[in-house]
Amino acid sequence: MSLPPLPSQDPLTLLMEKAEVPERKRHCPHCDTKVTRTKGFCGQCGQEYNFEPSLKTGDIVNGKFEIKGPVAFGGLGWIYLGWDKVLNRWVVMKGLLNTKDEAAAAAAVAERQFLAAVKHPKIVGIYDFVNNGNEGYIVMEYVGGKAVGSILKEKGVLPVEEAVSYILGILPAFSYLHANGFVYCDFKPENFMVEGEDVKLIDMGGVRKIGDPSGDIYGTRGYMAPEASDDPVEVSDLYTLGRSLAVLIMDFKYMKEYESSLPTPAEQPVLAENESLYRFLLRATHQDPDQRFQSADEMADQLYGVLREIVALKTEPKPAESQTFTSDNLFDADDVAGAEQVDVRLLPTLKMDVRDPAANELLRMAAVSNPEKRVAALEYVADKFGEKSPEARLRLANAYLGVKKFSDADKLLDQLHAEDQFDWRVSWYRGKSLIARNDGRGARIEFGKVYFEMPGEIAPKLAIAYAAEIAGDYEEAARYYKRVAKVDPNQTTACFGLARCLNKKMDINGAMEALTAVPAQHSLFNQARIALAKLLLHDEKGLNESLLEKAAETIESISAEGGVVHHLAGRLLASTVSLIAGGRVKEDRNAQLLGHQMHPFALRKGAEEEFRKAAHFAESHLEKIGWIDMANAIRPRTLL
């Protein structure tokens, strides 16, 4: 992940030409009534207000900070650019309080001293807290970049990849704040900056301690989580990150019509084009805090997966190991059935939750391959740990599926759901259970729940494709298979599944392209080439010279030895004989096909040899007789 670099700029260029708060932003700080003058007394509540900067160019604060002028007006007052005359560095000074009481100003500064402990490379540095008469200020590091909000105003909505990269870049700052007991409260595009090739969180004036009943709460309409006005917590911050990402990629009325919701994909093409991103935003900005991402790290992990998919669909595969799922389980080179049909055993496996109290005992059971013995062993562990170990019972439910004890699995999963309705793993195993019973529609619903929770993961999308194919919805199945195969073609069940679905839709070229996506180093490469050769030869009437050459090239690329390979070679040579006889392919003694001259005698002899070789691999006497009959039927006729 890289961010578009921005050139550094002269700090003095940030100074406001006219230090004046726009009239539309003038509201009484006490009762929020709109006022027109820059200072005076509110006609509604009678309290004094003042929107004029109290510090002038050249003022010296605390004996060392020389004021250069205002750069912005924020929620807490004016923000100034200053020069530290002692340490010779630029600083930014942000007002904490504007009051007639110097003691109150000193108290306000003291209350914010905890910010001095906040030190992170992606968070603006806090240098000092100072008083100047009846006002208090935070003295902060000057960040020589540009606010993302300013970039948005200049360029309009941002490319999805750029916007996602900005949010991904700032998430570690929130992980740090939350781990240290703080919430930021008022995140929005204006409050983080691009500096060089990185982003940095600025404006720490609204930061507060989690669970602190005292102090003001700051937020911005259109960004603020519904619960944040009473008690902002970690997920309240994550809500603001989701809303900010939405604002960066879409032009919509986020402060009015969509203050508490998102546009639909039908309204915003960017959401229709990036389904996983839309799913991510739905969860990030859910009105129920329990439905959102529960940590900045979890949010970052899923958003990174979403970005990988977005980039891969436009460029080239971007495989990466998941922290939650294994790859699919199609890795046996001889697993012909797995390549030819949907099979629940091939779905990715959920990785072990190592924090579970039964994790060590469960890991030791990996060596138990007998399904019945595995069930018995897991029943023992599940009974031993009881409700303390969800992992043991989830693994037991999965083992029940392996021996077709579906009612036992359902009962166990229902019990787990009753204990924790937010454990999406229950939906994963329910989906597997329904796949095993060929209920594609039911499985689609369960896997959809997993997709909501894990929008950056490949596994739920692959599972949805399985379910759709079983349900006969080849259009949807192909769409999800294609997405998975584009991101990571090592998930070969996606490549084979896509080929099957496109073949059902009579898109033979698309099916062949799907099979060619299987990586050459993968154990299923030969199976993919065999399937490709079968597709090329499936309709002799449609064969031409180009397809013959491609079929020959495909067969020659198969490194495995077996009857099916010799059968395909024999079919190709025999089909070419028919094409020459029908005048659709020219006889050419100077050309070769699979090492045989392109004339009927040589091609017949080659086909005979291939069918006889196939007979050596026959698994039954009847099959062997069939190959020999084919060899005899195609062999060249002579006078002797």
The partner residues of 580 in beta bridges, in order of sequence, read none
- How far, in Å, CA of 476 to CA of 469, rounded? 8
Residue 639's contacts (CB-CB under 8 Å, 6 or more residues apart) are none
Q: What residues contact 369, with CB distance under 8 A and at least 6 apart?
A: none
Give the count of beta carbons closer than 10 Å to the beta carbon of residue 344: 20
Angle, helix 390-402 to helix 371-385, in steps of 10 degrees: 160
* Side-chain-side CA neighbours of residue 25 (13 Å): 13
By the 10 Å C-beta count (0-12 exposed, 13-18 middle, 19+ buried), 495 is classed as: buried
Whole-number Å distance between alpha carbons of 282 and 448:
13
> 254: which residues sit within 8 A by CB, 6+ positions away?
222, 223, 243, 246, 247
93: which 2 tokens? 């000074």
Task: Kindly tell me the sign of the dihedral angle through the C-alpha atoms of 583, 588, 593, 595.
Answer: positive
Residue position matching structure tokens 């689609």? 444
What does the alpha-carbon distance between residue 463 and residue 466 come to, in Å, rounded to a whole number? 5
Q: Which amino acid, 60?
A: I
Tell me the C-alpha distance between 493 and 469, whole Å.
12
- What is the distance between the alpha carbons of residues 219 and 177, in angstroms, rounded to a whole number? 17
186 tagged catalytic: yes
Strands 208-209 and 198-201: unpaired
Q: What does DSSP assign to residue 34? A: B
- Count of CB atoms within 10 A of residue 325's CB? 21
Rounded to whole angstroms, the Cα distance separating 36 from 34 reads 7
* Inter-residue contact 466 to 497 (CB < 8 Å): yes
Torsion sign, CA atoms 543, 546, 552, 555 = negative
| Residue corresponding to tokens 């994963």 | 428
Q: Which of 186, 203, 237, 328 is catalytic?
A: 186
Which residues have C-beta within 8 Å of that of residue 224, sequence separation ≥ 6?
186, 236, 239, 240
Strands 198-201 and 192-195: antiparallel
Q: DSSP state, 3?
A: -
Residue bearing tokens 């998102």: 262
Residue 191 neighbours by CB under 8 Å, 6+ apart: 147, 149, 201, 202, 203
Work out the number of other CB atoms within 10 angstroms of the CB of residue 320.
Answer: 11
Contact of 225 with 241, CB cutoff 8 Å: no
Give the ranges where 224-295 is alpha helix by DSSP (H).
Answer: 234-249, 269-273, 275-284
Rounded CA separation 31/24 (Å): 16
Q: Is the dihedral of CA 459, 465, 466, 468 positive or negative?
A: positive
In 180-253, alpha helices (H): 234-249
Catalytic positions = 186
